[in-house]
Amino acid sequence: MGEAHNNLGNSLMALGRFAEATESFETAARLLPSSPVPLTTLATAQQATGKIIEAEMSCREALALNPDFAEAHWNLALNLLLQGRYSEGWQEYEWRWLKTGFTSPRLHTDIPQWDGTPLHGRTILLHAEQGFGDAIQFVRYAPLVSQQGGTVILECHPQLVSLFQVIDGVELVIPFGAAPSGADYQAPLLSLPRIYNTTLDNIPARIPYLYVPPEYRRKWSSLMSGYRDTRRIGLVWAGKSYPDPLRSCRLSDFAPIGDVDNVIFFSLQIGEESEQGAFPPDKMRLIDLTVNINDFSDTAALIDQLDLIISIDTATAHLAAALGKPTWLLLPFAPDWRWLLRRNDSPWYPTMRIFRQKQQGSGWAKVIETVSAALEDRSL
Cβ atoms within 10 Å of 282's Cβ, excluding its own: 8
Indicate left, alpha or beta for 95 from its phi (over 0: left) and psi (-120 to 50: alpha): alpha
Mean pLDDT of the chain: 95
Q: For the chain, where do the domains classified as CATH 3.40.50.2000 start and end?
A: 214-377
Cα 38 to its chain centre, rounded Å, is 27
Evaluate whether 303 touches 266 at the Cβ level (below 8 Å). no
- Mean pLDDT over 100-106 rounds to 89
Question: Which residues, 6+ apart, have CB-to-CB distance to 186 below 8 Å?
Answer: 107, 108, 111, 112, 113, 114, 124, 125, 126, 127
Q: Residue 141: is its pLDDT beyond 90?
A: yes
Q: What is the CATH number of domain 214-377?
A: 3.40.50.2000
In this structure, which amino acid lies at residue 254?
Answer: F
Superfamily of domain 2-98: Tetratricopeptide repeat domain (1.25.40.10)
Cβ atoms within 10 Å of 105's Cβ, excluding its own: 9
Per-residue pLDDT at 259: 85
- CA dist 18 and 243 (Å) reads 19
Q: For the chain, where do the domains classified as CATH 1.25.40.10 start and end?
A: 2-98
The number of residues in the chain equals: 380
Per-residue pLDDT at 183: 96
- Mean pLDDT over 158-166 rounds to 98
Return the CATH class of domain 123-195. Answer: alpha beta
Per-residue pLDDT at 241: 53
Per-residue pLDDT at 186: 97
pTM: 0.96
- Mean pLDDT over 145-163 rounds to 98
Q: Residue 17: is its pLDDT beyond 90?
A: yes
- CA dist 269 and 266 (Å) reads 9
- CA dist 186 and 201 (Å) reads 26
Cβ atoms within 10 Å of 377's Cβ, excluding its own: 7
Q: What is the pLDDT of residues 253-283, one digit of tens each?
A: 999 999 888 899 999 999 999 999 999 999 9
What confidence tier does 378 reach under pLDDT thresholds 50, 70, 90?
A: confident
